[in-house]
Amino acid sequence: MTAVDTIVSISTPFGKSAVGMLRVSGPNTTLIINQIIKKNLTPRFATHCSVKDDNNKKIDDVIAIFYKNPSSFTGEDMLEIHTHGNPVILNYILSIICRKLARQSGPGEFTERAYLNNKIDLTQAEAVADLINASSIKATKAAMMSLHGNFSQQIKNILNAVLEIRAAVEASINFPEDDIPEKSFLIYKTTFDKIIDELRNLIQNATNGIKLNEQDTIVIIGKPNVGKSSIANALLGEHRSIVSSISGTTRDAIHSDVMINQTVMKIIDTAGIADTSDPLELEGIKISLKSIQESTFVLYVVDDATALTQGDKDILQKNNISDYWIIRNKIDKTGKQETVVQEDGIKTFYLSAQNKRGIDLLKNHLSKQAMPDGDNVGTARARHLNLLNSALQHLYMCNDYNNNQQLELVSEELKLAHQSLTSLIGGNIDEDLLDKIFSDFCIGK
């Protein structure tokens, strides 16, 4: 899988801005520089120059940076052209470059070339997309850790340990006269136990890393007129949902993104759940129940004057809602103080959405709920977790077979564990998997 053509793309989002950028990578990069810039560029230096069309007419004043292979992101000759951020300018330059010397890149193709040219491994390539799509500062820091090889290095350390014991087991099989079974059994068991512990820790980190990659969806539910829309508006800091004393005002699930303590979350305000014959209300309730199933967390709102009734408990039980907090709203009417307590094992907030009392307290707890503990967590994906768990299961089998001195079977399980770990960072990867991974990237990255 060796790239032989030259690719180009607009790397900044569509729309007008102060600055726009095009990226070029491939063997025709210097020809493109000669054709449209017509000026020698010192590698890795920003040069103020002009981009010109086929008639030598100036299109725009730009900053151009040339990266000589292999000292570039892709490992190939690369060019960045920083223009004024007008889509007309960017697309015109793109069309000139694409006439003869290059083609427009596909999603993630620059990063894919970096991987194919051994500039980064596969987990680092995936971390590039995680960095772009991160929904919190903590997630961006975690993605940077993975991009800089933290996650890869942990995998490689375990992989090297597996390779060492594979070599020892193979030697025992091939040269049995040099082996002392009782001694080697203890050595192998100690080694397997150590590798398994390291792999368990890595799996826990990967599980937390997956959570970092996911944007939390908080759904606000409850009976009509308990203040769900008021709480949604208070969290958003703007009037997004209609607030009224009339029952059944909210007829649909209203989705909104909000930044809470440097973490982006999706807030869903829903229709009140109640017995009704109104067809529009019934449809809204159906959407509310569907939103519950799609959420990562539930805020169940009640009026503090009535607290949690049997009807509320029935709603929670009927819809299998187990991961939730109780919001006792309207404390401005009951005269209570804003606080958070544990009631029957459930975190319960006393607040007033109307007076904004207790909203900051709720925000702080929501941001902590969204972020896993630990500062050494890198981003991860389900693919990583599946392969790590596969390797772990094979190592468990190694221990079992070693206990029975079945070294041939130990060797086979070690081989399979080795394959799973290698697939994590890029070994034994088929083209279909690569296409799937990089298709999720944006154009120009």
**pLDDT tens for residues 200-259?**
999 988 887 777 767 788 888 888 888 888 888 888 886 654 444 444 444 456 878 787
Q: What is the pLDDT of residues 281-320, one digit of tens each?
A: 556 666 766 777 777 788 999 999 988 888 888 888 888 8
Q: Residue 271 — very low, low, confident or very high, per pLDDT cuts 50/70/90?
A: confident
Length of the chain: 445
pTM of the model: 0.66
Angle at 206 between CA 398 and CA 1, to 5 degrees: 85
Name the residue type at position 324: Y
Asked if pLDDT for residue 410 goes beyond 70, the answer is yes
Mean predicted confidence (pLDDT) in 17-46: 95
Q: Is the peptide bond before 70 cis (omega within 30 degrees of 0)?
A: yes
* Cα 394 to Cα 412: distance, rounded to the nearest angstrom: 9
Range name among 39-48, 182-191, 340-349 with the lowest pLDDT average: 182-191
* Cα 368 to Cα 380: distance, rounded to the nearest angstrom: 19
Q: Are 251 and 280 in contact (CB under 8 A)?
A: yes
Domains detected in the chain: 7-120 (3.30.1360.120), 125-212+378-439 (1.20.120.430), 217-370 (3.40.50.300)
Q: Which of 56, 57, 107, 59 is nearest to 83 (CA)?
A: 59
C-alpha torsion sign, points 318, 320, 322, 323: negative
* Cα 399 to Cα 413: distance, rounded to the nearest angstrom: 10
Predicted pLDDT at 426: 81
Mean predicted confidence (pLDDT) in 373-398: 82
Beginning with the edge strand found earlier in the chain, give each strand of the sheet holding 47-52 in spatial order.
47-52, 58-67, 78-85, 17-25, 7-10, 103-104
Please tell me what DSSP assigns to residue 178: G
Which CB contacts under 8 angstroms, 24+ apart, belong to 276-280? 276/248, 278/248, 280/248, 280/251
Please tell me what DSSP assigns to residue 378: P
Q: Which residue has the higher pLDDT, 370 or 241?
A: 370
Range name among 33-37, 75-79, 322-326, 388-392 with the lowest pLDDT average: 322-326
* Cα 286 to Cα 214: distance, rounded to the nearest angstrom: 25
Asked if pLDDT for residue 110 goes beyond 60, the answer is yes
Name the residue type at position 297: F
Q: Phi/psi class of residue 26: alpha, beta or left (left: φ > 0; alpha: ψ in -120 to 50)?
A: left
Measure the CA dihedral 86/88/93/94, to 10°: 100
Name the residue type at position 333: K
Asked if pLDDT for residue 25 goes beyond 90, the answer is yes
Predicted pLDDT at 2: 45
* Cα 128 to Cα 107: distance, rounded to the nearest angstrom: 13
* Cα 13 to Cα 10: distance, rounded to the nearest angstrom: 8
C-alpha torsion sign, points 424, 430, 433, 435: positive
Q: Residue 375 — very low, low, confident or very high, per pLDDT cuts 50/70/90?
A: low
Q: Residue 265 — very low, low, confident or very high, per pLDDT cuts 50/70/90?
A: confident
Q: How many CA atoms lie within 13 A of 294 on its CB side?
A: 13
